[in-house]
Structure 1
């Protein structure tokens, strides 16, 4: 039996929707549901027990707490009470799809070294009706930076369905044998709603186990709905990597390479999953066959920034402004540096100038890239040393090229950023 553990704190509407979706997706399956209420002050204490019993009968338990035990404490309380052989940690801002359980259980049968497994988490459908990736696994980059792998890619992109081994998966939806969870001591309650899943996965890695996301199991994740979700992020991150940094390896670039991408250092000192020269040539050749071919090429590879910008320019020329806005917004999700943000800001400023709030948010993102020549040179030196230490000499050489090209960077690319922040005009149209 699977014991589904759901910590909650207020947000009753989310919890209600989650329980209803869970009941519909587990009809006839052997599951129990334990909701741990972290001292909610909204309708949850009154409404949750009745709804849970109506949906799950005796398979439902409501565990109210006198104080907020946070994510780790709530899950540990539920794990101790659970009767199932399997624990499924589940956020209340999720909507399970039918059939999520069987692929996760099957993964453990097929892989004896599997520590924990999770479903593919998807955002709700966007304005075009597409589900996009919220969680396909967590990867580790330089400076202990963790991020969701390929966030916002369409759910049917080839890299989304490729089997892969991971160090870290999110605790928002994680299946693990109950005895393994208990043997490891559960989640570390020293964290405050963040990074406890990273540290827990590191302990699984220490035991010689790995994690997987199983794309056949799919759950909608609204993401970031918990109150105060990011309040302790810096403290949580520092504590996590003090405890377990030595147990984890840099794996972001390894995952990119396995998927056919070529890591590259952007002029803005970020690491990006670039396309190989052969892929770029193939896509450009296809795009030159006409507007329909351009759209097909750009949409087939969302990480091809040049193609997204070409498509957006064509859409604007055809007065397809809503399509151009969508294309540019998605490009800024995939490649969130000024190379993508500036064209979006320029478009909004010319076509939707009344969107003042949106323009200010874009300018706020650009402010993260403000730098002096002296600070940029120091940062490039540091990045160069980190890449050499990580065994990435080719990427270190790219940094050297950026150092040599600094005058051109500040006279061209950086000038556009300064103009956008100073006047709101991102760039001359068509530049």
Structure 2
């Protein structure tokens, strides 16, 4: 057997059906004889130990290896074990809740030939198709935002949106599907096993940045990501985040506003202190004019630019008025996913209370999330001062000025939108809030 070019590393812990689907999709994607597959089993207690070796060999023959572990080594440890035993020149770290699509390998390898400072590359990760067959973005890169928060860039945008195909240099990409030269992975020491199933990819990419390397997502390479199916995925998030901040704060810079500006959007800080990509005034005016032509035109406008928040809320109201509650719920849910804040969560909660008051679980979850926006004047003042310092340090004077304006407008905020939110959470008969930023 010749030395494989790519070694695909798949850590697993239970969830055999996910692993089975991943292996079958990987085989169907036709990776070729120059690819080997290593499954590291973190002491699964389900059908994995019995079923995985047989299926792997049937799909990949001698190019498959099953590496059972006596204890759970978590995501970082499992990848490090596989990397040490891999025979390929390249490593593809791959979650078992993914479905590789045909042609994923060549664009990733080609990216390294085209970019000598490329540290690691990943495919475009997409959610499974919705009822209309539309794929939405799960991962197009990770960005660092205010409060040292990391998030997926443009998550839930449709795959055909123009920003999806734009090339961009990134600090961070997800470890759910990450290609890197094996020797580089080993030289950096692999993933930090102090993390427990979270943030190890952020810290690893920070070390790549320290070596003056950047990362990229290659849209031509596509993988479906079911996302969030791993057992215990969020159990150690607070500890992982704190560890990552301690180790990476001097290696990474806030880049979310810059990414938005590169794509023609304007970072907007709301009175609720949420940050979102806003549309330029000329684009918003064009969409408003298009929306006046009727429901079909409004629907088309929103499909073309889902980041137009007021358009989504307007469309939901018109869909409900026309007796299409299912469509209205989908529109409101998308608005909340694209920008989670009281501006989108309140309309969604009001709709559920009107149309499905028996859905106690959804109502409770929405109320809990909204309650997190209630804040004392003293806490908001402290938060705004911290944000202002953070924006100035990041070289964002316009956002620093916006925080100062919000500080000066505190009385109006607490007498207006904050009071309305508090009152709304005390009653089930909530009015549908107006569109646009509260306040």
Is TM (by shorter chain) over 0.5?
yes
Picking from 217, 233, 240, the partner of 2:244 is 240
Q: Say yes or no: does 1:184 pair with 2:184.
A: no
* Structure 1 residue 408: Cα displacement: 2.6
Q: Decide whether aligned partners of structure 1 residues 336 and 428 sit closer, same or farther in structure 2, where only a CA change above 3 A counts.
A: closer
Matches within 5 A, 1:29-428: 29-427=33-431
1:25 aligned partner:
29
CA distance in 1, matches of 2:433, 2:141: 38
Q: Decide whether aligned partners of structure 1 residues 183 and 430 sit closer, same or farther in structure 2, where only a CA change above 3 A counts.
A: closer
* Structure 1 residue 428: Cα displacement: 5.1
* Structure 1 residue 404: Cα displacement: 2.7
* Structure 1 residue 102: Cα displacement: 0.9
Give the superposed CA RMSD.
1.4
Structure 1, residues 263-318: CA drift from partner, whole Å, max 9, x if none? 11111012211111121111112112222111111121111111111111111111
CA distance in 1, matches of 2:302, 2:428: 28
Q: Decide whether aligned partners of structure 1 residues 428 and 199 sit closer, same or farther in structure 2, where only a CA change above 3 A counts.
A: closer
TM-score, normalised via structure 2 length: 0.95
* Structure 1 residue 79: Cα displacement: 0.7
Deviates more, 1:347-356 or 1:336-345: 347-356
* Structure 1 residue 430: Cα displacement: 6.9
Q: Decide whether aligned partners of structure 1 residues 429 and 103 sit closer, same or farther in structure 2, where only a CA change above 3 A counts.
A: closer
CA distance in 2, matches of 1:383, 1:31: 47
Q: Is the 1:343–1:426 contact (alpha carbons within 8 Å) kept by the matching residues of 2? A: no
Q: Decide whether aligned partners of structure 1 residues 149 and 429 sit closer, same or farther in structure 2, where only a CA change above 3 A counts.
A: closer
TM-score, normalised via structure 1 length: 0.97
* Structure 1 residue 341: Cα displacement: 0.5
Q: Say yes or no: does 1:9 pair with 2:13.
A: yes
Aligned length: 431
Q: Decide whether aligned partners of structure 1 residues 414 and 277 sit closer, same or farther in structure 2, where only a CA change above 3 A counts.
A: same
Deviates more, 1:395-404 or 1:35-44: 395-404
Structure 1, residues 162-194: CA drift from partner, whole Å, max 9, x if none? 111000001110000111111111111111111
